[in-house]
Structure 1
Amino acid sequence: MTITLITGGNKGLGFETARALLGAGHTVYLGARDPGRGEAAAAALGARHLTLDVTDDTSVAAAAALIEEREGVLDVLVNNAGIAGSLSPPRDTRADDVLRVYETNVFGIVRMMHAFIPLLERSTAPVVVNVGSGMGSLAVTTDPERLESTLVGIGYPSSKTAVNMITSQYAKGLPRFRVNVVDPGYTATDLNGHRGIQSVAEGAAIIVGMATIGADGPTGSFVAASGPVAW
């Protein structure tokens, strides 16, 4: 049985990813910051609820201890939790605005990796999927043909660029792991006020695909459903 943990799993892409991986036979722990919403989402899917706030060291450590006690191993970690943060223009953006976004989108991944690497190391084929964005690509956001080039901000885009780099570094530092970052595309979720043009099923497809690769799969890559994404 493949043991999988998804952060931010009570709605949107995380919820849909959990649904698909459960269908693929995974045992899914659905991490959610709000216990009530997390329990309701897990019950609706048949997943296992895990109270988890990626911005809190104590919460992350407790989650790792619980999975160690129950399973003794983690095979797949999907770092999905993320926030959009302030949409203020660059000239009005404060350092605190950016820090708040980084606490979840970047430092949250580092906290999760630090706590869960020991459990992932016990897997025969450990997989990590970091949910990124085309907004984190310098190539995409400077391409006038792409929608992402018309969106201007500091916190969210730069946080996703940081996710690209830490993904690359974890992939190099953990050669037995498969560590990749994915761009789900412009998906209708709470993150963008449901303005996205894709369904959550369409957006989750690449997350699910990279969560189910084997030990011979790619690592250190940035991919979307359409193929590789330029860094």
Structure 2
Amino acid sequence: MNNSTVMLCEGVGKVYTEAGSALEVLRDIRLSVGKGERIAIIGTSGSGKSTLMNILGGLEAPTQGSVSVGGEALYSVSEEKRAQIRNRQLGFVYQFHHLLPEFDAVENVAMPLLLGNVAINEARSRAQEMLVAVGLSARFSHKPAQLSGGERQRVAIARALIARPACVLMDEPTGNLDNHTANDVQQLMQSLNKEFQTSFIIVTHDSELAYRMDRVMELREGGLHQISGPDASATT
């Protein structure tokens, strides 16, 4: 893995065994993600997109192959070490924001830093800075129930970026938003990508969002194929 590669996925396969029969979901997945690169992954329901994202995020071990983030192997270390890599190198945004309802916006955004043993005053200060960056300077003390859908997703994006991760994994980040709000969130992601040079891997059914990315990959029949971007005729 060179200095400009933030994530490397090599020969990843995933097989589930149910009732004595094997179901191959992923086969020989290879993906190299550069610093600041934005990649969309599309595919039909049941094609294995969520499984792939779980593997890339260190949440589910592959049956074969390897995943490295920032030069650190995710699946040849202890669960404790893997959790540390996730906290330091990766951010996560889902279709549903998964904010903690009892905490305000600053506290929700600060949570990854607090889990990483950052002092509470520093964590709160950095969380406020990140909320300003996503346009929520007037929402510091608001709890999720007091925020709109788009604002909650902005808080979730701020939380994903707070630790300056190498890569943010997004699973349908605009899937639960109306078109106008989804467009605002798309523009926000683009500006944050330019500002922080964070890489994004986005699973989406939104073709407009997908084709705004640097590369579009399609997951089909267990394999990952590039359909848009540099050398799009090549299979990855």
- TM normalised by structure 2 equals 0.34
Larger radius of gyration: 2
Give the number of the structure whose residues are more often helix, by fraction.
1
Give the number of the structure whose residues are more often strand, by fraction.
2
- TM normalised by structure 1 equals 0.35
